[in-house]
Structure 1
Amino acid sequence: MMPIQQRNSLSRRNFLQSSGAATAAALSAGVWSSRSIAASNSANEKLNIACIGTANRALADIDGVTSESIVALCDVDSRYLGVQSKRFPDAKTYVDYREMLESNKGYVDAVVIGLTDHHHAPATIRAIENQMHVYCEKPLTHTVEEARIVTEAARAAGVATQMGTQIHATDNYRRVVEVIRSGAIGDVNEVHVWVGKGWGAEGLPAGSDTPPEYLDWDLWLGPAPQRPFLDGQYHPAQWRRWWAFGQGTLGDMACHYMDLPFWALGLTSPTRVAAAGPPVDAEACPLGLKVNYDFPAVDGRGPVKLTWYDGNLTPRTVSDIKVPGSGVMFVGSEGKMFADYGGYKLYPEEKYASFTPPPKSIPTSIGHHAEWIRACKSGEPTTCNFDYAGPLTEAVLLGNVAFRSGRPIQWDAKNLRVTGNEQATALLSKEYRAGWEVRALESVG
């Protein structure tokens, strides 16, 4: 595979030059006057929303935007599509989202993407090309390169974006961020993040079955290489176990749990990433993984070492404290904090027995999906827009790049490059089947 920095069609410099010129030209000509985020819709006018994926996690996302007009639905599984078609009888239905996005250019305002990871970027970039606002499930993309491409494309196009890290909108995460920023546990230079899931496997499952009539298997594969359908594997629930479709437990859960230290400590791009786990399998994700990230000092904060654990490598104690199956431990110069989705606790307990939280400074969210809807109509940025979610996703996926390459990586975020590790460089991107490519935009509008 050609290294990322050698492929002109995906060159960051070429992208910025071409998209910047296209942006200026479009604004000058006024062609965005009816599509820009500041003028898409008035506060009272409903958005025309297309939903790609209609079941499981995608169904929860549909439920989050029903205040608007659901005008198009897409799913490769006719069972799921049929259920939602009855629910939204006026919505047009599609099996191929490429057709849906192209045929509804100028009609659909915004797109909700709730597909398998390997479809996130192909769907997102095509929506952006058609000047549609985008809500995309986590992780934002399937590769590091894709994360950079869609982040910069969304910024150039001026569309409203949100990544589906719904827990970010909860009050508890806001209180944790406030406590850490207040200095209650001192300077934080060490963080541990763990999740007791194990989205892994050992090689590819053997055999093949005839795809059922209700499933378009070729479209489900989309950009991924051809492989046989297997009943009970891949679709709908097991696909995260294989590199062709997912990114294992790290890809599934880190955007939720690493989100908290990213937010509280203002993390961006690591400089070094090292990973340990079972022997690397070319096809299957590991059943357990440990990743060490080094983040540089920035804005008065010192460097941060963040350690991720999952699956059968999940710890029972962290920093000498017995912990549950998932959570985050901030280790500060004056104390420690354990946090998860629902609450937080400070250590040593006796020291913080009478602790008074700092005044609330982060406003209560109107709702994760509601933030995006408001952004589509007003231009007010969301809390997990792609400028935030893109770097978070890049950092998350670099853990798997380090693991699969077999040795630590030195990361040059500015140039989207691994220093001195050709195998890791190749893992930043991937090949696509014809018709599913993800390329930096040459023009917008």
Structure 2
Amino acid sequence: MTDQQITRRKALQTTAALGAGLWLGTSVRPTRAAANEKLNVAVIGIGGRGAANLNAVGKTENIVALCDVDEKRAGKAYERYSQAKSFADFRRMLDAMENQIDAVVVSTPDHTHFHPSMMAMTMGKHLYCEKPMAHSVWEVREMTKLAAKKKLATQLGMQRHAYKNMHRVVELVQSGAIGDVNEVYSWVSSSRGMPALPVKTVPPPETLDWDLWIGPAKFRPYALNAKGQGTLAPYNWRFWWDYGTGETGNWGCHILDIPFWALDLKYPTRVEASGPEVDAERTPTKMQTSFAFPATNKRPALELHWSQSKKGPAILKEKEISLKGANTLFIGSKGMLLTGFNSHKLFPEKTFEGFKAPEQSIPDSPGFHLEWINACKGGTPATCNFDYSGPLSETVLLGNTAYRAGGGFDWDAATLTAGGNENARQYLYSKFRKGWEDFTS
């Protein structure tokens, strides 16, 4: 049986149907395990971050299938979960085990989130997916829509959402401690990007299925850089536009989660970006983006600024604030709130002497992965389900879009239209490699 032949049946026609504006497999209902039963979980991508997700879910649930294109990196997981069936191709796995799987975890590189996620959800399987949700704004929107249509339990891998400090920050902002917030600065202190170019094409390791690793993206031969490292795998893919989303995609969902949650943000109406000259293939070592969000009945209009910079945004120096341990600064009508994942501080300090924090209103998380597991069994939706994390992921990717498109645009979220910048459209949608345009080949 060929890889193309195994893509039969309703679930394997997903992408073609989406392109035509259709939805297939609507008769498939999500599997609901009873609260006291264990889920049967399949995990796609089990090296690196995938290993952490696998072990977190495997503490309480049945791991019935494991899938990875790299047999060597997956080896320890195969040994630890020897009862699970192992696969290299997620299509084979889902096709063979459709009736034995309740839920799926996807922890592959960014460019291969969409296809396995859509296939699993079309089959009615609950989904945990690593951030960013997908590789383009269009992919994120399609995943969000399908999850809602199928009424599936979803969770995006924004694990810091469960941190208690995050909860306290949200409570402070929403209680009005710093007044009306009209500007927020968030940043990642990093200069990663522009990875070394390949200098030598070599055969891929025998344990790695390179064609499957490339999947739907632009094909490049396996190659080494001047240091003898893989140009793309196992990690540098993150800083190549065809496969990753740079530091913005890597950290944006984690860090922008703070203002998105605290200020109940959804879709921006204007996106701006600037930075060094755009490299067509590789992500930058620094960049700045800004998002305009309209006023709601809960808050005024505001500007959210995101930057990748070792020194943080210029406003920190202007306000004489250290970036150590921090990644977000809220500016309100009554003061400022500086926060990271694990600590926060109110400014000016004299203004907030003797300040009493509001009572806790956000309950402690039972555990980020447990939130999703409980939701799969009929409990309340997980805190980073796609209704919430979809718009956040889109916003993160819109920043990359504006940077690559050479400037800002007005954003119509309803139609996925970038007004005033025709160059942006090519970065909003995905182009899949031959054989991956749809699942009907």
Letter in 2 for 1:418: A
Give the structure 2 partner of residue 3 of structure 1: none
Give the structure 2 partner of residue 304 of structure 1: 302
Q: 1:331-366 CA deviation, whole Å, 9 max, x = no partner?
A: 000000001010110001111121111011111100
Written as runs of structure 1 = structure 2, the 5 A alignment for 1:294-373 is 294-312=292-310, 314-315=312-313, 318=316, 320-324=319-323, 326-373=326-373
CA distance in 2, matches of 1:203, 1:413: 36
- Are 2:37 and 1:45 aligned? yes
CA distance in 2, matches of 1:175, 1:435: 48
Please say if residues 293 and 305 of structure 1, whose CA atoms lie closer than 8 Å, have aligned partners that are also in contact: yes
Give the structure 1 partner of residue 192 of structure 2: 199
Written as runs of structure 1 = structure 2, the 5 A alignment for 1:126-275 is 126-201=119-194, 204-231=197-224, 232=229, 233-275=231-273
Give the structure 1 partner of residue 56 of structure 2: 64
State the TM-score, normalizing by the size of structure 2.
0.91
Letter in 2 for 1:268: K
Return closer, same or farther for 1:138/1:8 CA change in 2, 3 Å cut-off.
Answer: closer
Q: 1:114-162 CA deviation, whole Å, 9 max, x = no partner?
A: 1100011111101111111100000001100000000000111111100
Please say if residues 125 and 438 of structure 1, whose CA atoms lie closer than 8 Å, have aligned partners that are also in contact: no
Please say if residues 287 and 312 of structure 1, whose CA atoms lie closer than 8 Å, have aligned partners that are also in contact: no
Give the structure 2 partner of residue 425 of structure 1: 425
Runs (4 or more) in structure 1 with deviation over 6 Å come to: none
CA distance in 1, matches of 2:248, 2:438: 23
- Aligned-pair CA distance for 1:312: 4.6
Give the secondary structure class of the aligned counterpart of 1:71.
strand
- Aligned-pair CA distance for 1:268: 0.6
CA distance in 2, matches of 1:416, 1:313: 33
Please say if residues 188 and 330 of structure 1, whose CA atoms lie closer than 8 Å, have aligned partners that are also in contact: yes
State the TM-score, normalizing by the size of structure 1.
0.90
Give the secondary structure class of the aligned counterpart of 2:328.
strand
Deviates more, 1:211-220 or 1:181-190: 211-220
- Aligned-pair CA distance for 1:438: 6.6
- Aligned-pair CA distance for 1:206: 3.4
Give the structure 2 partner of residue 377 of structure 1: 377
- Aligned-pair CA distance for 1:80: 2.2
- Are 2:396 and 1:396 aligned? yes
Please say if residues 289 and 313 of structure 1, whose CA atoms lie closer than 8 Å, have aligned partners that are also in contact: no
Deviates more, 1:73-82 or 1:361-370: 73-82
Match of 1:100 among 75, 88, 93: 93
- CA RMSD across the alignment: 2.0
Letter in 1 for 2:111: H
Letter in 2 for 1:323: S
Letter in 2 for 1:288: K
User: 5+ unaligned residues in a row in structure 1: which ranges?
Assistant: 1-6
Return closer, same or farther for 1:260/1:438 CA change in 2, 3 Å cut-off.
Answer: farther
Give the secondary structure class of the aligned counterpart of 1:366.
coil
Q: 1:43-85 CA deviation, whole Å, 9 max, x = no partner?
A: 1111000111111111110111011000100111111222111
Please say if residues 200 and 248 of structure 1, whose CA atoms lie closer than 8 Å, have aligned partners that are also in contact: yes
**Identity over the aligned pairs, expressed in percent?**
44
